[in-house]
Amino acid sequence: MALRVKQEAAVGKVIEMTSAQNAISITLLEATSVLGENLVQSEPFLCFQEADRKLHVDREAMRLLTEFAELQQKIRSQQHSGAISESDIKRMRELQSAVGTNDSIQEHGLAQETAIAFLREVNQEISNLLGVDFASLTRRSGGCC
Amino acid sequence: MVDITWNDLEVSSRSVVMQAAKQFAETLGDTPQFREFEQSYFGFRQDVEAQNAIREFQQKQASLKALLMLNAVSEEDRQELQRLQDRFYQQPSALRYTKAQEELVAISQEIGDLLSKAIGLDYGATCKTGGCCG
């Protein structure tokens, strides 16, 4: 009986949450859309999109990143078994150096940092006006905290 | 940096983006969910009984912190902690504030998802600073 009450309460909760989500007004949806469009059209985000496009058409950069990710994964699993191959470590150092000097990858990283810094400034502006950190309200639970 | 010249008409200047952010914040601040969140927060803060209830619960929780982490709290302390928590959650102003917060979070998450989709970055995660729980 107690379980049934709990289940009913859970169903009630789901309905309540859904109605809250549906309660977003057209005005708020429009303001969200205008903010999103302006962010995408801002210089930091346009630069980021362009850097992203350049990176994805740069075969050498993409090959480096793929090999880097695969080797990183391999070394991580070797760490668990305690048997890391010397040649893998050597190759990892070479890849790190190649990634560090590849223009497309470096430009992409820099453009991403700039876009993120700008987004944080925008969030700060919103949060200052609201008196509460808006970004923390948007996070869905999960992750380390 | 990426060497590119944008068509000025297609670029949203910093002030235009900040104006859109301001407009967005004002619109969100005007929603029934945000107003209820603010009002319930002030109500909760001014409710002496609710403030005492949360303080007593937090003090008890802090005093048992090490034992809680070790999962070594005595049955008596565990029951006392539960009783203090229940007492806090039974305060009408605390209930109202918790419900208002849940509703504001629900619409904020929806909006966050829309923004993340538009910009191609996870809005909430990207704006997080200072380590994993910052």
Q: What whole-number percentage of chain B has pLDDT above 90?
A: 80
Tell me how far apart the alpha carbons of residues B123 and B112 are, in angstroms, rounded to a whole number. 6
Which three-class secondary structure state does DSSP give residue B73?
coil
**From B32, B108, B117, residue closest to A134, measured CB to CB:** B108
Query: What is the C-alpha to C-alpha distance for residues B88 and B85, in angstroms, rounded to an integer?
Result: 5
Spatial distance between the Cα atoms of A137 and B73, rounded to a whole number of angstroms = 33
Q: How far apart are CA B130 and CA A120, in angstroms?
A: 12
Confidence check on the interface: ipTM exceeds 0.85, yes or no: no
Averaged pLDDT, A49-77:
95
The predicted structure's pLDDT at residue B56: 95
CB contact under 8 A, B24 and A34: yes
Determine whether the interchain pair B109/A137 forms a contact, defined as Cβ–Cβ distance below 8 Å. yes
Q: Does A117 touch chain B (CB under 8 A)?
A: no
Q: Tell me: the pLDDT tens digits for B66-123?
A: 998 898 889 999 999 999 999 999 999 999 999 999 999 999 999 999 999 999 999 9
Instruction: For domain B17-113, give its CATH number from 3.90.79.10, 2.40.420.20, 1.20.1500.10, 3.90.870.30.
Output: 1.20.1500.10
Residue A95 binned pLDDT confidence (cut-offs 50, 70, 90): very high
Q: What pLDDT score was predicted for residue A96?
A: 95
Confidence at residue A142, expressed as pLDDT on a 0 to 100 scale: 52
The per-residue pLDDT for range A31-46, each reduced to its tens digit, is 999 999 999 999 999 9
- Residue A139 forms contact with B (CB below 8 Å): yes
Cβ distance A144 to B121 less than 8 Å, yes or no, reads no
Quote the pTM value.
0.78
Confidence of residue B13 (pLDDT cuts 50, 70, 90): very high
Q: Where are the domains of chain B?
A: 17-113
**Given an 8 Å threshold on Cβ–Cβ distance, is B127 in contact with A120?**
yes
> Which among B10, B23, B24, B126 is the top mutation candidate for probing chain A, defined by the most A β-carbons within 10 Å of its own β-carbon?
B24
pLDDT band at A145 (very low <50, low <70, confident <90, very high): very low
Parse chain A into domains and list their residue ranges. Answer: 54-130
Distance CA A3, CA A19 (A): 24
Q: What is the pLDDT of residue B9?
A: 61
Contacts of B8 in chain A (CB under 8 A): none
Q: Which of B94, B116, B27 is nearest to A24 (CA)?
A: B27
Is pLDDT above 90 for A80? no
Q: What is the pLDDT of residues B25-54, one digit of tens each?
A: 999 999 999 999 999 999 999 999 999 999
Residues B126 and B86 sit within 8 Å (Cβ to Cβ): no
